[in-house]
Structure 1
Amino acid sequence: MQPTPDILAAFEAAKGFMPVDEGLALYAAARDAGRLGLPLLEVGTYCGRSTILLADAAREGGTVAVTVDHHRGSEEQQPGWEYHDPSVVDDDPGVGRMDTLPTFRRTLYKAGLEDHVIAVVGRSPQVAKVWQAQLGLVFIDGGHTDEHAGADYEGWAPHVAPGGLLVIHDVFPDPADGGQAPYRVYLRALASGAFTEVSVTRSLRVLRRTGLGN
């Protein structure tokens, strides 16, 4: 099932990097995982483009989407890097750092989804340490270094409930196509014996927890 035209339009209008086909695959995974009645969590909010899809799926499943981000931008979004966007820099001269939180809040408001999202502002490993609940879905789309992607996997994969889904974005087997940290996390998940691949849509991988381990 696809999102309604209004939700799809809100997704396409939102600031972010996820293409439509990968977004639709994420939405399908979220609808699937929503049947468990457990929260759907993403690591890496940015401005809320993918959050729209998770929130709508959570609404349909009678649960909630949780999104975790420090909102200061990942490595490749800092000044001088390819994905830097000056429009999401705090213009207070005493700050001058990236701050995607206001844009994210506007994104949710315009999509009519504020009531279906819990936004956690903090660094993923710190939040994961205090998180206690099982999750129907974990979507890893935060920092793309080995340090950050690895920490996201280690912190959140153990919380995926049996039958739940682990979704990893920007998985590029060929180094010419992109960074390798998410790909290494993907391989690690498969090698753990805890997850089985469900689908592949370009750089988006969907895995289901079918076993023990992390």
Structure 2
Amino acid sequence: MDLGLLEAAVGADGFMPEDEGRALASAALAAPGGVILEVGSYLGKSTLYLAAAARARGGKVVTVDHHRGSEEHQAGWEYHDPGLVDSSVGLIDTLPGFRRTIAAAGAEDVVVAVVARAEEFAAIWGSPLAFLFLDGSHTDESAQRDLASWAPHLTVGGILAIHDVFPDPADGGQAPYRIYRRALESGEFTEIEGQGSLRLLRRERFGESTETV
């Protein structure tokens, strides 16, 4: 993989631990042929790990994020950063920081950034995914919606990656854990080796009610 992009990812702002980020990149590199897609990119740290894999594969990584921040980024919440507020509209705007991260790392040639709500973009997406990384809003409603709208696009043999999966509520929020359990209990996925809070699942089949692209 592109060692420069991996090093840039380590130094970028964000919440992805290095060991989990490198595991994410390795899993994306090993996925079958097709598109790599990330739901929830924040300032681009995890995007760079995926970009390192995409460049090695000779492909692209598509990211989708509305860039208004998740619930935990809003005023009064734990991860709020006043410096990310666009004073002209009074709302979080992570897009400028994301673009700086990708440009500074020299990854603009492999990153396709879409500014949209994930479920709205999923409704018009038409290509099979080889690798799907879910790391958007961590409320139950949003996490369940991300899984429901994007998992049907993942091809058989493709990899579903979910970040911040904590079985113990004392370690973190439970929404990612619940969608991880939902995917496993569907019978459509089997788990492969992950790293830390990063869980990796391989699609084995489509369920009877799953709509495919």
TM-score where L is the length of structure 1: 0.94
Which residue does 1:209 correspond to in 2?
Answer: 203
Alignment partners' CA distance in 1, 2:194 and 2:177? 13
What is the CA-CA distance between 1:3 and the residue it aligns to? 5.1
- Structure 2 spans left out of the alignment, 5+ residues: none
What is the CA-CA distance between 1:97 and the residue it aligns to? 0.9
The answer (yes or no) to whether the contact 1:200–1:206 under 8 Å persists in 2 is yes
Alignment partners' CA distance in 2, 1:155 and 1:62? 27
- 1:49-104: CA deviation from partner (whole Å, max 9, x where unpaired): 00001112111112110000000000000011101111211132xx1211000110
Alignment partners' CA distance in 1, 2:173 and 2:134? 14
Indicate yes or no: 2:173 matched with 1:179.
Answer: yes
Which residue does 1:43 correspond to in 2?
Answer: 39
The answer (yes or no) to whether the contact 2:68–2:93 under 8 Å persists in 1 is yes
The answer (yes or no) to whether the contact 1:163–1:209 under 8 Å persists in 2 is yes
The answer (yes or no) to whether the contact 1:37–1:62 under 8 Å persists in 2 is no
Alignment partners' CA distance in 2, 1:56 and 1:180? 29
What is the CA-CA distance between 1:211 and the residue it aligns to? 1.7
The answer (yes or no) to whether the contact 2:5–2:107 under 8 Å persists in 1 is no
Alignment partners' CA distance in 1, 2:63 and 2:5? 18
Alignment partners' CA distance in 2, 1:187 and 1:118? 30
Indicate yes or no: 2:82 matched with 1:86.
Answer: yes
The answer (yes or no) to whether the contact 2:188–2:204 under 8 Å persists in 1 is yes
- Structure 1 spans left out of the alignment, 5+ residues: none
5 Å-filtered alignment, 1:10-29, equals: 10-29=8-27
Which residue does 2:111 correspond to in 1?
Answer: 117
SS of match in other structure, 1:81? coil
SS of match in other structure, 1:198? strand
What number of residue pairs does the alignment pair up? Answer: 208
Opposite residue 196 of structure 2, the aligned amino acid is R
Alignment partners' CA distance in 1, 2:49 and 2:74? 26
5 Å-filtered alignment, 1:23-172, equals: 23-33=21-31, 36-92=32-88, 95-172=89-166
The answer (yes or no) to whether the contact 1:37–1:63 under 8 Å persists in 2 is no
What is the CA-CA distance between 1:208 and the residue it aligns to? 0.5
Alignment partners' CA distance in 2, 1:151 and 1:88? 26
SS of match in other structure, 1:16? coil
- What RMSD over aligned residues (CA atoms) do the two structures have, in Å? 1.1
TM-score where L is the length of structure 2: 0.94
What is the CA-CA distance between 1:193 and the residue it aligns to? 1.1
What is the CA-CA distance between 1:201 and the residue it aligns to? 1.1
Alignment partners' CA distance in 1, 2:183 and 2:60? 25
Further displaced range: 36-45 or 163-172: 36-45
